[in-house]
A and B are shown apart, each in its own frame.
Chain A
Amino acid sequence: MEAPVQATIRSLDPRVTRLGIPQELPEFTPKPPLDEWQTYEVFHQARPGEQPVHVGTVHAPDPEMALVFAKEQYARRGTTYSLWVVRTADIYAFRSEDADIFATVPEKTYREPQDYKVVQKLLRLKRKSHGSSSADAPASP
């Protein structure tokens, strides 16, 4: 006996019609974990001399494929000089709970050039030495 012919989807897209997809959807089997592989973080360098900047992630089975996908996703427009990828699992980062570790950095103004008022000091020095040149002159031997 012949198997009953299943009705297939007729689409406006001839390619879809040719696939012969059954009208009735079969029971759905969920994807297993990691079916879409692991992720890589992508860094994009627009021009030589510029810093590579983190732009997002791609799912890929290996670094070479990650570069291919990164090109498709993050170098679609504008200029690109280079792309880097690194496995997300290999990145160590501060967690946001630890953000206070950086909190005192702006307070340490003694490490900033604008914290040194050298010009005023210098002017004071000059005023002082012109005003009383003889008194302040180094003692003659």
Chain B
Amino acid sequence: MYGNLSITEPVRGVEQEDPEKLAEFEERIARGEKIEPHDWMPREYRRQVLRMVEQHAHSEIIGALPEGTWITRAPGFRRKLALMAKVQDEVGHAQLLYSAAETLGKPREQMINDLLSGKAKYSNVFNYPALTWADTAIIAWLIDAGAIINQTLNAKGSYGPYARALERICKEEAFHLKYGYDNVVTLASGTAKQRQMLQDALNRWWKPILHFFGPPDHMSVHSEKLLRWKVKMASNDEMRQMFLDAYVPKIWELGLTIPDPNLRKNPETGRWEYSDPDWDEFWRVINGNGPCNRERLAVRRMADELGAWVRRALLKPDHRYVEPLF
């Protein structure tokens, strides 16, 4: 699961590239060709793709933590097995994505250093706690739904290794979505208390879900170049609209209330309108001041430190680092 390359950095330095090579590169992308690791690419393309894939990898590895919280107390053995499988999938996605990012010339150790030192960003939603079992159901259904929208689009992006990793990832996400939906429908069909638990979880997650696709287009850096390079495949607002189109009716169908009195589809524009989901909070959390930022980082660091002696014991003097091929 993952949000968008939610905060886009301005594209810079393209004018310093060889114009002939740049034109050829852009033609290849326009023809729908994939760019492979050893192909010529503008430095800025490399930087932006690396940043995006790396951020995605961090999101997967941190994303395992909020849901992992409930493994010990999953209601029933089958759900426990399924939740463990989902959390394992997420960690596996991080591995695939770190490998894809590595092909752009940044060794994995450096990426993990940036995550553990707090320098790197990851998806904001994972800085919120999963307070109840219903929260895990909402995460698995709606956050993964958002991730699928984003990833299915990006799987058609221009960078070969990332597109291939996403294809594999999307297949696994399909299970996450269905598993989450199953849990949500189970709670919605349950007792009044269970229904309330589900409604409370939806209330807590609604804003983070809207945040998930990144800041609105009018607040984001102009990313026309990234769209042309097929680094970004749709704008943040476009993806948010796709999500609302597909999932608001499904949420209403369950008899749940979406905690926004202004949410409606404008029949004239065909676009969803909604209240401002507090973008100040989004910036506050992404800059390290969310409810769980500190815990997420501390747990990840602890996991890394606890495994350090094993990694060092198995390191052999003839190990050699080379960039992965694909």
Contact = CB atoms under 8 A, between A and B. Distances in A.
Interface of A: 9, 11-16, 19, 21-23, 25, 28, 30-39, 41, 54-59, 61-62, 65, 69, 72-74, 76-77, 88-89, 91, 93, 95-96
A37 B301 contact: no
Interface stretch (B74-82, B109-117, B209-217): B109-117
B298 A88 contact: no
A34 B297 contact: no
Contact of B326 (A14, A28, A56, A61): A56
B215 to A, nearest CB: 28
Interface in B285-326: 294-295, 297-299, 301-302, 304, 308, 311-312, 314-316, 319-326
Contacts of B304: 31
A127 B319 CA distance: 72
Contact of A12 (B112, B113, B129, B316): B129
A11 B164 CA distance: 36
B259 interface: no
Contact of A14 (B72, B295, B319): B72
A62 B92 contact: no
B81 to A, nearest CB: 14
Contacts, number: 131
A11 B69 contact: yes
A32 B325 contact: no
Instruction: Report the interface size class on chain B.
Output: 35 or more
B68 interface: yes
Nearest to A26: B301
Contacts of A30: 109, 113, 117
Given A28-B117, A57-B324, A38 B319 contact: yes
B315 A89 contact: no
B302 A19 contact: yes
Contacts of B65: 13
A31 B300 CA distance: 14
Nearest to B117: A28
Interface centre among A14, A15, A59, A76 (most CB of B within 10 A): A59
B165 interface: yes
A37 B164 CA distance: 23
